[in-house]
Copies of this chain bind each other. A is one copy, B any other.
């Protein structure tokens, strides 16, 4: 049963009474072989318990069928959703993507990338770790391995990017806050070394400017892009002389942290302080209060990224168009009712 050494096509060739070439042809589903022969060979494969050696095959073939997905934070459910979208399309292409985690660590990322290259990946979908050096993907480029960035990008890179429209998302969210009557706004979380941060902050600022909020009434508090970061941001903001009344958060995790911190201080998110998140992860809808957030169709972006990747591999190119995904604001409960009344603008006192 458990044969000593592992079976090769030679073993199954002997078993089936054909040549190794025939076996190879069958393995590849070539139409050149007689159906009865194919059946015979397939039976032998089953009997012997043969397992295909893709490494050996790749030695001869131009391309492997391995696609790697390099993710900066596996514990953020956001990326799990992204992965799910990608898997959907790769599955129908008969590809199993391998996921590797860099834990937001550029050194670890370097190792992961190296390992994946040595493995001979056909392509890579990457959400780069914070602090990635410009040259980190040089090696991939010179090796001609297709790479696409998902969600995040590097400042000056030529690598195609699949990401949501961060600027517009932030603009929409901010406009919503202003529409609710808020006049002192803050942007919570994130740090300026992230391009995404620049984009979201840019949308926030443009909305404030366009909709008549004075620059001195807009605040920015940087911080970790996690629940913990959100808690810290809120503390900082409330300690100010003239604290804000509404926050756009870098992402949902930060928003959850902010809501938590509000509650701890006896303030009610929504009524006492408005908060909106970004990404619209599944938890957003289930929170108390449900979080108003910018929905980015994460799984859809994952699908898109996978499609782009497939096309790049097929056409043996390393370049592709960027793709900016549509966003829309999902209004729930975390911004409460309109504030216009408080400001003496309503007709009912």
Contacts and interface: CB of A to CB of B under 8 A. Distances in A.
Interface of A: 1-2, 6, 49, 51-56, 58-59, 64, 66, 68, 74-75, 77, 80-81, 83-84, 87, 91, 96-101, 103, 108, 111-112, 115-120, 139, 141-144, 227, 256, 260, 263, 282-283, 286, 288
Nearest to A227: B286
Contacts of A81: 75
Nearest to A2: B142
Nearest to A83: B74
Q: Lowest 3 A-B CB distances belong to which pairs? A: A55-B55, A98-B98, A96-B115
B101 A101 contact: no
A53 B49 CA distance: 27
A74 B80 contact: yes
B54 A56 contact: no
A108 B91 contact: yes
A75 to B, nearest CB: 4
B52 A55 contact: no
A318 to B, nearest CB: 10
Given A55-B120, A87-B103, A96-B100, 10 more contacts: A2-B144, A51-B118, A53-B59, A53-B118, A66-B119, A74-B83, A74-B84, A75-B80, A84-B101, A98-B100
Given A54-B119, A55-B119, A286-B256, A84 B75 contact: yes
Contact of A112 (B49, B64, B96): B96
Nearest to A140: B51
A87 B101 contact: yes
Contacts of A49: 139, 142-143
